[in-house]
Chains A and B, each alone.
Chain A
Amino acid sequence: MEDKIIEIAASIFEMDPRRLSIESSRDEIEKWDSLAHVMLIAEIEEQFGVSIPFEETGNIHQLKDFLRYVGK
């Protein structure tokens, strides 16, 4: 699960997945801009078949925050 999130994020940020971890956050990753944020949410929702409530999209700061929605 964690690996898949990292993989998705890496493809959207166009960077090497080894440079990301589940702890990676928006503050440290330059490529994680607002467009990338929306793309990431869209991709995670589609790939995992889940829906992340609109209200909570702003609370996602680290990749691990997605774990709350994709189940474990």
Chain B
Amino acid sequence: MKIGVYSNVNLDGLCRKLSSTFEDVQKGEGYGDWYFSLMRDGIKEDVAFFILDGFELFRNASDVDSEFRNYIDIIEKIVSENKTKKVFVSTIDIWEDKIRSVKDFDISSMEMEYKWSKELERLNSQHDNFFIFDLKVMITSLGRKNFYSKKLWYLGGIKYTNSAENLIAEEIIRIVNTMEKARKKCIVLDLDNTLWGGVVADVGVENIELSEFKEGARYKDFQKRLKELRELGVLLTICSKNEESYVDEVFEKNKEMVLKSEDFVAKKINWQPKSKNISDIAEELNIGLDSIVFIDDSPVEREEVRTNLPEVIVPEFPKDTSQLEDFIMDVYKEYFYTLAQTEEDKKKTKMYFDNVKREEEKKKSASLDEFLEKLDMKIHLWRMKPENLKRATQLVQKTNQFNLTTKRYTEEQLAELMNDPSCDIFLARVEDKFGDNGTVFLLIGKKEGAKVVIDSMIMSCRVVGRFIEDRIMSYLEDKWFEDGFEEIEGVYIKTERNKPVEDLFERLGYDVVYKDENKKVYRLTKERKPKRKEIGELILE
């Protein structure tokens, strides 16, 4: 991914730091005219960071207000003209030492900072590709004395200290990583001395440490942050060596509990080894062990899980429990950092509960076919639209198992493919009587001469095994054949995780035309197209 850093002050040092992490870091030319090249040529990189120094922005302004308007207009223009690029614009800090009397109190800088943030907030709500880079908060948390360096300013026109630049670099790295890598999905939590203070079996439901103020607030604050993680679509689960009746009582009776019983999609309250319970949770939720973070105050349990399930992330629990909130903030930044919450995220916990109901129904049914018939599935299929970009990117970046070629396109690349006439991108949403599964299917077909190549076929694990792909492929194949294409080419590229679909195209009746250790290529012609199961209703949108 290409990264651009644009600033009205010298950030060459920052760019050097970033270059040791990323291959392609560009820095904007000039300082006062940091936006010229962007206005002239557009953004060349995938993501651009505008790190702006508040004081320098207005240093020579004769009319501060019109200068302000001018900057905002420029930023908005750049953002609207580069829709496929992500643009991060910093909040500003205006710091100026001035000798004045105590009585002479001047708030014009503060007002300007506020106006700036207000405009950024507006841009943030109006443009999907616009994000706020909260520089002001970094300056506040480090303190101006530690953020700015007079010496470096006089020596090399560098305004920020080394530690300030490190802080900015860390945040940029975190943001870029979030765009490139899949975030984790689930937190497994211990209870006693983790979610609350004390051992509930010993002290009783009302006496566990959990309160708004003082000692118990360590745990309550921790729970508040966990609840926020849940709202970002992170699945919360419990794994505790405990008596279930005590735990139920805590959920029912302790009014200080921020997290409710229904916030957890799985609970393992028993005396089995935690590694065993975590494996079970992974299986039930149909997620990989490597998408789980395990939090437990006991070093023995942590070690047990680390040894037996090396894929699971096991962060060190803080020795000083007043650090609990900082600890969970770090866990968020490291494993769950999220640029923008999707509609899917908000519903995630509910969707997993719907799934539990489905599993129960499945157990009751005599056969799989009977169960699938009873599900009353409605498969909505449509051509990808710009408003689907976020979810589509999520599917492409995060799906490991039902992913035939595992091409990890970025949002920008997907947007390009979407606008490419030789490319068909379809998405599908699946509803059934237990609820909406959300957008769970993505297919990219590339038209090459007389054939269509299935470049990507991806389905979220929560709907696997319902012959949805059969239904969709039958429709698309017919459509392509009708459009005059002679053959459809399927591709399977092996990864560590996508074994479940290694024979998918065989099952769909495709002929193997090439095969080696890591790759299979298939072909289907109109004549060879088989009859397939037709389960549920296909609705074209």
Contacts and interface: CB of A to CB of B under 8 A. Distances in A.
Interface of A: 14, 34-35, 37-39, 41-43, 45-46, 51, 54, 57
With most chain B CB atoms within 10 A of its CB, the pick from A14, A34, A39 is A39
B155 A41 contact: yes
Contacts of B20: 14
B13 A38 contact: yes
A14 B158 CA distance: 20
Given A38-B156, A46-B163, A54 B151 contact: yes
Contact of A39 (B13, B151, B154, B163): B13
Contacts of A42: 13, 149, 151-152, 158, 161-162
B158 A38 contact: yes
Contact of B152 (A14, A34, A38, A51): A38
Given A37-B156, A42-B151, 8 more contacts: A14-B16, A38-B155, A39-B16, A41-B151, A42-B152, A43-B162, A46-B161, A54-B151
Contact of A54 (B13, B16, B155, B162): B155
Contact of B12 (A14, A35, A46, A54): A35
Contacts, number: 37
Interface string B296-327: 00000000000000000000000000000000
12 contacts: A35-B12, A35-B16, A38-B158, A39-B13, A39-B16, A41-B152, A41-B155, A42-B13, A42-B152, A43-B162, A57-B151, A57-B155
Interface string B152-168: 10111010011100000
A43 B154 CA distance: 16
Interface string B12-48: 1100100010000000000000000000000000000
With most chain A CB atoms within 10 A of its CB, the pick from B12, B20, B154 is B12
A1 B334 CA distance: 33
A38 B156 CA distance: 7
Nearest to B146: A46
Nearest to B12: A35
Contacts of B155: 38, 41, 54, 57
A5 B270 CA distance: 54
B16 to A, nearest CB: 7
Nearest to A41: B155
With most chain B CB atoms within 10 A of its CB, the pick from A41, A42, A45 is A42
Nearest to A54: B151
A34 B156 contact: yes
A39 B158 CA distance: 9
A34 B12 CA distance: 11
Interface residues on B, range: 10 to 19
B162 A46 contact: yes
Nearest to B161: A42
B156 A35 contact: yes
A41 B151 CA distance: 10
Contacts of A54: 151, 154-155
Contacts of A57: 151, 155
B51 to A, nearest CB: 17
B151 A35 contact: no
Nearest to B10: A35
Contacts of B13: 35, 38-39, 42
Contacts of A38: 13, 152, 155-156, 158
A67 B286 CA distance: 59
Contacts of B152: 38, 41-42
A31 to B, nearest CB: 10
A8 to B, nearest CB: 10
A39 B156 CA distance: 9
> Top 4 A-B pairs ranked by shortest CB distance?
A38-B156, A42-B162, A39-B13, A38-B155
A56 B274 CA distance: 60
A43 B13 CA distance: 11
Nearest to B151: A54
Contacts of A43: 162
Nearest to B155: A38
A39 B16 CA distance: 10
A67 B506 CA distance: 71
Nearest to B160: A42
A37 B158 CA distance: 12
A51 B145 CA distance: 14
Interface string B130-174: 000000000000000000010110111010011100000000000
Nearest to A42: B162
A38 B161 CA distance: 10
A15 to B, nearest CB: 12
A61 B151 CA distance: 18
Contacts of B158: 38, 42
A4 to B, nearest CB: 15
Contacts of B151: 41-42, 45, 51, 54, 57
